[in-house]
Structures are given as structure tokens and as C-alpha cells.
Amino acid sequence: MAPIKLLSARIVLAALGLALALSAPSRAEESRVVPQSAAQIKLSFAPVVKKAAPAVVNVYAQRVERNRPRNPLFDDPIFRRFFGDRQRSGGATAQSLGSGVIVDPSGLVVTNNHVIANMTDVKVALSDRREFPAEILLRDPRSDLAILRIKAPKDATFPVLEMGDSDTLQVGDIALAIGDPFGVGQTVTQGIISALARTEIGISDYGFFIQTDAAINPGNSGGALVGIDGRLIGINSAIFSQSGGSVGIGFAIPVNMVKDVVATARAGGKEVHRPWLGASLQNLNRDIADSLGLDRPTGALVTDVDPKGPAAEGGLRQGDVITAVDGKEVYDSGSVGYRLGAKPIGGLASLSILRDGKKLVVPLKLMAAPERPPRDQLTIVGSSPFSGATVVNISPATIEEFSIAHAHEGVAVIGVADDTPASVVGVQKGDIVLSLNGEKIHNTRDLQRVAGGNPYVWKLQINRDGQVITSVIGG
């Protein structure tokens, strides 16, 4: 199976061209017209390009990886015996090249989070050759979106690409991609919307992508999908490719997901809060559908309900099958996540469900996941195998924010610093620490206390993707 490739270009000690992409918003149902003659087929897309292209920018991001002193722990002969000996190289300049879309006259730019992830210095270049530094206002790794603000004189003006409605798209609608593939210069390609609601892509938590055959290539991350009316319908993020180039299968984040991220940045928010379902879901297969008396495996099966969550409050039960959110059909658990994730906090949504063969509608309060207990985020230091790991307590909020799976007890690892004992041992982001040296870990303070010891042997128990792993280090 060909890999999914994110479209930003990453280099070290080199400069590459960068790119952007666009794909098209749909027209209203009544305005879709198939060409009636050869003359109509020869009509130009130039007016659409003229309207959209000025608001598409190139994004240059970089950081200088300064030489850092060698961690003294690696000079300890015991650690070198347990964890090996690793030397760090430094002083390189890491660069990321991608695209963005100006969506506000004040200079707000939407791009992909992976374009600017771990970067510190960002610049944008407009199609009219103006260049400006930019600040990162908001990073949203869960949707792979980020918002920049162009730093420019007060009298500077910027073209804006109006946002459309991705829910009105239909397969077969025309899509234009405008960008700078491989650094060759601004390029326009044309295709159609090939598919909607692609949820098995695996490049963000809200996998509900627009698929297009408009040629998209590396360097296009953060660009825009534009419809025949010149409105933004998606932010291009990835391609399906074995060669690294376009084979006619590209994926874009629907603009309706983008809107909430932009609104959060406009309001000064630093992180996006999305509605919490308070229930665990499972995709249906043919066997499950047959056992439930369904004629097809579509929808999301409720496998567990938090008794204190909004799903339970609204009357959702284990065994229910969610078939629609606010009247919009959902095909699997990813579809439910997207439909809720694109909604702002506050108010109510309605869930259409099947229960024992009956169709019902239950209300869902759109509230953020609570942080109970408090996350108490810590970075473990000292001489344990968890030294260098950043951990948090498990709560509905941290489960949502960090996409923590299979978490019922222990503490969650949300980051591992390079060249630390935790990274050398193989501790990974997303691991759930269950016990250390025979002591159960209930919270981050437990882990900090036990990791502060100095035994000759360390015994670790970790839940990784639902599998409990026990390791003994030392001895």
C-alpha cells in the first residue's frame, strides 16, 4: 500500500522551493451545470484564478539547532551500560517550506501545523512578491492546522480568500489547485472532487478529508482548495503516493473545520476547545451490522458511555448506533468526531441513533471535556528510564487533547525529549505508565517520587496501544 505523504518540504542546511495548493468550494445545487457544448468546455478558469491566487502565500519556517552540551547522564558508566552511548550533532538549520491562505484582512494566514511544527522563525511571501515575518498565533495539532499573523505596517493591505461551505460539496465538482510545487513557481492545476469524508487517512485526529485529483505535490501543504466560485473549501495536507509526486490522489482538510480554528485565533485563543462526546465509539463491520439487524455497516457503535458526560446526560446508551449528527449522515466514528469537532462550544447538537431497531434522536450538550483530575504536567528528571519524559494525569480533557487511547489508569506520556534516557530506552508519546518498580502509578507525583530513587534495576510496566508491556532494565 502506498504511503500517505504530508506535503511540506523539510530540509537541513539547504534551501528548497515551497508550494501551496488550492481546491475548490462547491456551488449551490441549483447552479451546477454540465457543459452543454464544445464552446462551453473551452471557457477559461482565469477569472477564478485571478480572484483566488493573490491570497495564497508561501510559508518559510526555520529553527537553528544550536549545539547543546552533552547530557552528563551519558557520562555515567552505569547509564552507558543500560542505555548505550549516543552523541548529538548540532548547529544545523532546519527549514520547512509550505503554503498558506490569507483569510482575514488583518493578515491572518491558515496553514498546516506540520509546516511550522517545532519552528521558531516564520516568513510569508505573497504572490505580488512582498515578504513579511509572521508570528504563530495558534497551533492545533489535532486538526493539523495553524494560524499565523503577518507582521506588517498598519497601512499594509492584504488580499483575502473568502471561505465557502464544504458541506455543500459533491463528488464531481470542479477543483483548482494553485501553488508552487517543487519550487518551480506558482502553478495552477485543475481536477474534480474525487471523494468526500475520507476517514481512514491517519494524518490527524479529525480524519474527514476531501479527496481531489487536481495535481498536488510536495511543498503544497497549507495551500487552498478553491471551487469554481473562487471560495476556499479546503486546506491541502497530504498525498497518496509511492514516488513522492502526485498520482491524482490528494487530501484536503474541509474548510468547515478551518472556520472554528480561525475563530479561536481571532478571539485571542491559544488552543481550540471542541465539544466532548463523553462516549467511546467503534466502527461497524459486516458482522456487527448483521448482529444488530442493519442492512449495511454504516454509522458508529457506542461501546462505552461516561456516566458524567454529555452523552449520558442526553440519553445515549451503550449499544446505540449513531447514524447522523444534526441531520448529516455519519459513516463511522471518524465522521462523528469531525461533525462534532467542527462545532463551537455551547448550545446543543442532535444525534440520530438506532436502538433496538428504532430510530431516535437524542440531544447532546456541546461542552468542553473537563479536566478532572488536573493534569499536573511534569517533566521527569533524574536517573530513571523516564528521565526526559513529560507526563500528565489522565482526564477527559487530556484524553481529548493528546489523543490518548486505552487510558483508564496510570499517567500519560505526552512528549519525550531527544537524547534523554527516556528516548534511549524507547519510551514513546502516548504511552501510559502503569507501574514502576512494583509501585502502581496513580498520578504524575507518584511517578516523580518513584523515579527519584536510585535502584540497580528498573522494572517498567507500560500500556502502549492497549498492550501491556513489562520491561526490566539493568541487573
Question: Catalytic positions, please?
Answer: 114, 144, 221
Question: Which of 221, 224, 190 is closest to 203 using CA atoms?
Answer: 221
Residue 376 phi/psi, 5° resolution? 45, 60
Contact between 213 and 171 (Cβ < 8 Å): no
- The CA distance from 318 to 407, in Å, is 18
Burial class from Cβ neighbours inside 10 Å (0-12, 13-18, 19+) for residue 42 reads: exposed
- The CA distance from 239 to 17, in Å, is 18
Question: Which of 259, 21, 253 is closest to 162 using CA atoms?
Answer: 259
Name the residue with cell 449513531: 322
Name the residue with cell 494553485: 178
- The CA distance from 371 to 310, in Å, is 14
Question: Which of 473, 452, 453, 448 is closest to 461 using CA atoms?
Answer: 473
Number of residues that make up the chain: 475
Contact between 384 and 436 (Cβ < 8 Å): yes
What b/e sequence results for 356-395 when a residue is b if at least 16 CB atoms lie within 10 Å of its CB, and e otherwise? eeeeeebebbbbebebeeebeebbbeebbbbbbbbbbbbb
Strand stretches in 310-393, DSSP E: 321-325, 328-329, 348-355, 358-365, 378-379, 389-393
- The CA distance from 166 to 151, in Å, is 30
Amino acid letter for position 318 = Q
User: In the numeric block, which cell numbers belong to residue 87?
Assistant: 552523541
Report the chain's C-alpha Rg in angstroms: 24
Question: Which of 191, 180, 190, 196 is closest to 97 using CA atoms?
Answer: 180
Amino acid letter for position 148 = L
Question: Which of 357, 314, 351 is closest to 336 using CA atoms?
Answer: 351
- The CA distance from 70 to 181, in Å, is 39
Pairing type for strands 321-325 and 348-355 reads: antiparallel
The C-alpha angle 202, 98, 342, rounded to 5 degrees, equals: 45
